[in-house]
Structure 1
Amino acid sequence: MRVIVVGAGLVGLSAAWWLARQGHEPVLLEQGPLPNPAASSFDRHRLIRLAHAAGDGRGRLIHEAYAAWERLWADLGRSHYRETGMLVTGGAPGDWIHTCRDGFDALGQAYDIWEPGELARRCPFLELAPGDFGLFTARGGALLTERIIADLLAWLAERGVVMRDNGQVVAVEPSRARAVLADGGQVEGDALIIAAGAWTGRLLDRLAPRLEPRRAVVLYLRPPPDIAREWAGSPCFLDFGGTSDIYLVPPLDGMDLKFGAGAHSRPGDPAAPRRLEAGEPEELLGFLRPHISGLDRYRVTGARVCFTCYSPDQAFIAGGLEGRTVYATGCSGQMAKFAAVMGSRLAEAATGGFDPMLLPGWARGELPPAAAA
């Protein structure tokens, strides 16, 4: 089948990969260059973790995601996953660590508790509040997304997949599996996959009221040399307690420490220039300062502005439309870690290997394993 894929971020590229390996003919349309730095998933790395809040279906779906990544590594010939372990800290009433632990318990997921003394010993660079403890899983770490995108593009090119850069899609016609381009051209296939990230609401009016593009900033920092050893071998951090929603990737693979704060994100226009605003680095550092000792000694070495697409309950929104058209969106900043499984599932749904009517429940982690298989 000839399948049009709108969007060449990680999900679109993963869909094209799955289509090609199954003998279909993907046609990839990207509004900017390939790779596109404006894609939601374009960054040096993104977290992948088992930890999710109690009742969040992604805590079940993440195991399918890991299996899909393993299939991709086999095809690429190398892995771009770095397993550092994942750590959540906190302890005050209302801290996310508690619902995270409840989620693990509900799913029967094993974890380790690092009591305050052990947490301080293992992570001496942390500023800890009285009673803070750690919730640790050995599985979890970072996906090196820039490298994944580069290798996927090379893999697709080697197989002659049509990839059209600077081919902005301004409208879709689901009943005809057709994409309309900004230059007036049209591309039609037997099926259509919409993986347009923060731009999805502009292509699917019916979803627009449920979607909110949000702007987020991450900073890259270099720890002072005298504590570099303490950072070596550190796990990734998912949350530090409180309301800042901070996540952190330690220095690894020659890349500096990276962090962001969900509390700093805000609604925005994904077509806006990707520029830092005056004072933003210091604003972001203000979120992290209570949690890292001597943060003023760390040097800011880079920043990245990105846009993701939020849904009202921060769950995935996926489904099928008329004419073998399928879509996934509402990632709320978490789609990258699920990209391989989301892209391959959309490809299956578009080509008859999975019932599109099951996509909404599957994407929310609500299907039993037999139904999702």
Structure 2
Amino acid sequence: MAVAMKAIVIGGGIMGLATAWALARDGHAVELFEQGPLPNPLASSMDEHRLIRHPYGDHAGYARMIDSAYAAWDLLWRDLGQRLYAATGTLALTGNGETWAERSAATLAGIGKTMKELPLDELPRRFPQLDARDVERAFWMDTGGVLFAQDIVTALARHLDGRPNVVLHAKTPVRTVDLEHGRIVTEAGVRHDADVVVVAAGAWVGRLLPTTRRLIPSRQVVIYFGLPADQRAIWAKHPMVIDKTGDVGLYLVPPAEGRGLKIGDHVFSRSGDPSAEREAHEHEMQPLLRRCGVLIRDFARWRVDRLKVCFYTVTEDERFVVEKQGAKGWLMSPCSGHGFKFGAVMGLELARAIAGARDPAAHARWAAGLEGDKPS
């Protein structure tokens, strides 16, 4: 093992907690600072679930990274003593000129993975809950599933709290960060020094590092639905659905293991204040509700259970930003709405990079999903 260091991690979402976990299991001393409670209900990680799947359009780097992500989650399950995941499989539907699933299948074939195209006349038999009238092509992959996000964050915080080499500072906002000298000052005026400082502050990163203008907070609304009693068991065993057949693309997260059924879209608002009031209104979701009415049979019997606002931190190209800044600092922002699935592996690999096992420039390229991608 490399020489033990003292590390400061700012941010108690999945990326900050996973990095603290990885550093601590390598024997380093870690202090983690979170502006709110741990876990923080306003954090992007605090939702019932997040999806993990191999299909990634043209992004071979991220598609290739999924196997490493699964291995990292398995390591975390062993440390936590529980598996907070349910396999579902991945169903991708396309039409209206969209080619994402087709491109995903081609990309996966290039790295030795099979994403099978399904005959359209097979859809009503296999997935009778869906109305495939607008579907032009359908693809299936056995892998993919649901990560129970807020349960993971809660369990990880509890696990870290029990380690002798970890100190968790909840409700301790940080005022200033000095990545050159490895120093932070809290809002209370207390200074802390370390060998390395990792800023994993999610949608609040711009307040600590104002020069990170490429990282834009983005207010996103998702819908949780109450299902008729006679449909709950069916949907609990349903695969995730990525639908890109209508004017509104959507993703559907099935209610695995008693969680809610959630539907959202991936269109970025690129607006909003993560510290502001988070009230959502049903009228904001009308295009998505209309699409649900076409795609889902018997949708008229569904009811909106609740709307939830969360915040992404988005980049123009949807690639992650994990890079060394200053002599003793790292910026960690694996984001753009598809980062949670990589939380465990991002933490492990950043700990390796901090210890010198990977060149910082190479690590930034890997985190951006550029390994294996064709030059743009």
TM-score class normalised by the smaller sequence: over 0.9
Report the equivalent of 2:309.
305
More displaced 10-residue stretch of structure 1: 25-34 or 179-188: 179-188
Q: Does 1:72 align with 2:72?
A: no
Q: Which residue of 2 is the match for residue 275 of structure 1?
A: 279
Identify the range of structure 1 (223-232 vs 78-87) with the bigger mean alpha-carbon deviation: 223-232
Q: Distance in 1 between matches of 2:284 and 2:369?
A: 36
How far has the Cα of 1:51 moved from its partner?
Answer: 0.7
Q: Give the corresponding residue for 2:86.
A: 82
1:2 to 2, 6, 12: 6
Residue 348 (structure 2) pairs with residue 344 (structure 1): yes
My pick for the range that moved more, 8-17 or 357-366, is 357-366
1:89–1:134 Cα contact (<8 Å) kept:
yes
Letter in 2 for 1:346: L
Q: Aligned AA for 1:203?
A: L
Of 329, 338, 342, the match for 2:333: 329
Which residue of structure 2 lines up, in the alignment, with residue 178 of structure 1? 183
**Of 193, 199, 206, which aligns to 1:188?**
193
Contact 2:89–2:140 (Cα < 8 Å) also in 1: yes
Cα distance, 1:348–1:42 mapped onto 2, change above 3 Å: same
Residues 268-312 of structure 1 deviation map (CA, whole Å, 9 limit, x = unaligned)? 111212221363354542342221122221122222210011111
Displacement after TM superposition at 1:266 (Å): 4.2
Measured after TM superposition, the shift of residue 229 of structure 1 is 4.3
Q: Which moved more, 1:14-23 or 1:160-169?
A: 160-169
Matched with 1:21 is 25
Spell out, residue by residue over 1:307-333, the C-alpha distance to the aligned partner (whole angstroms, 9 max, x if none).
Answer: 011111111111112223112215101
Q: Is the 8 A contact 1:2 1:189 kept in 2?
A: yes
Q: 1:131 to 1:304 in 2, by over 3 A?
A: closer
Q: Equivalent residue of 2:58, what SS? A: coil
Question: Structure 2 matches for 1:1-373, cutoff 5 A?
Answer: 1-130=5-134, 132-160=136-164, 161-208=166-213, 210-263=214-267, 265-277=269-281, 279-280=283-284, 282=286, 284-329=288-333, 331-367=335-371
Could you report, residue by residue, the CA deviation over 1:166-201 in whole angstroms, capped at 9, with x for unpaired residues? 111232100111122222222221111111111222
Q: Distance in 2 between matches of 1:237 and 1:290?
A: 14
SS at match of 1:51: coil
Say if 1:279 and 1:87 are closer, same or farther in 2 by CA, change over 3 A.
same
Aligned to 1:371: none
- Say whether the 8 Å CA contact 2:199–2:330 is kept in structure 1: yes
- 1:130 and 1:358, CA in 2 relative to 1: closer, same or farther beyond 3 A? closer
Equivalent pair of 2:92/2:241 in contact (CA under 8 Å):
yes
| Counterparts of 2:269 and 2:141, CA distance in 1 | 27
CA distance in 1, matches of 2:247, 2:46: 26
Output the amino acid matched with 1:162.
V
CA distance in 1, matches of 2:291, 2:273: 24
| Letter paired with 1:184 | G
Change (3 A) 1:105 1:324: same
Secondary structure of 2:256 counterpart = coil
The Cα RMSD (Å) is 1.9
Q: 1:287 to 1:196 in 2, by over 3 A?
A: farther
| Greater displacement, 256-265 / 35-44 | 256-265
Q: TM-score, normalised by structure 1?
A: 0.92
TM-score of the superposed pair, with normalisation by structure 2: 0.92
Conserved in 2, the CA contact under 8 Å of 1:86 and 1:141? yes
Q: Which amino acid aligns with 1:127?
A: D
- Contact kept? 1:213, 1:310, Cα under 8 Å: yes
Count of aligned pairs between the two proteins? 367
Query: Is the CA contact 2:33–2:169 (under 8 Å) kept in the aligned structure 1?
Result: yes
State the identity %: 39
Secondary structure, aligned partner of 2:356: coil
